[in-house]
Amino acid sequence: MKRFAAVSLICCVLAVMPIPAVHASDPSTDCNIDQGPCSKRAGDREIIFDISPKPVEAMKEITFIVHVVSSDYAPALLLDLSMPGMHMGKNEVLLKKRPDGKYSGTGVIPRCPSGRKLWQAEIDIPAAGKVSYRFNVAF
């Protein structure tokens, strides 16, 4: 009984040990979204991705902004949100074209009670291919 209690206690302590914080410098991220927009290339196009307001927080309505530089593409783009390594269901945001040529739409990034903060936004750019950005969100 004492051994059971001791092992239980040790496991409880291990179980509640804080999950190591994932920082923007984490190699699994490729976009420090809180510092500003992130730029990538899809085909020969430059795609700039941004989220507002900052810091980017889970469980709050946020605006996703995508700028396809020097291009006049479809009237809308689809942004797919997912958590690398964990199935979190289908969470898509429709980005509509604004008068300034950028695409934007509002959505929510859910909080994962496991403590994971890494999310991926994948945008399908017609005729150029898919481009994805991995970033952390604050709780």
46 vs 57 by CB, closer to another protein: 57
What's the gap between Cα 107 and its chain centre? 11
Burial of residue 107 (number of CB atoms within 10 Å: 0-12, 13-18, 19+):
middle
Nearer to another protein, 14 or 99 (CB): 14
- For the chain, what's the residue count? 139
Q: Please report whether residue 61 would count as binding another protein according to CB under 8 A.
A: yes
CA distance 3 to 97: 64
Q: Binding residue for another protein (CB under 8 A) from 22, 112, 118, 128?
A: 112
Tell me how far apart the alpha carbons of residues 95 and 114 are, in angstroms, rounded to a whole number. 29
Q: Does 90 bind another protein (CB under 8 A)?
A: yes
Residue 83 near another protein by CB under 8 A: yes
Provide the minimum distance between the beta carbon of 32 and another protein in the complex, in angstroms, as a whole number: 21
SS3 16: coil
**Distance separating alpha carbons of residues 29 and 49, to the nearest angstrom:** 14
Q: Is 64 helix (H, G, I), strand (E, B) or coil?
A: strand
User: Among residues 5 and 20, whose Cβ is nearest to another protein?
Assistant: 5
Q: Which amino acid is present at 89?
A: G
**Which of 52, 54, 84, 139 contacts another protein by CB under 8 A?**
139
Question: Which of 74, 102, 107, 128 touches another protein by CB under 8 A?
Answer: 107
Going by the DSSP 8-state scheme, the letter that residue 23 receives in this structure is: P
- Site for another protein contains 69 (CB under 8 A): no
The residues binding another protein (CB under 8 A) are 1, 4-5, 7-8, 11-12, 15-16, 18, 59-61, 83, 86-91, 107-108, 110-114, 139
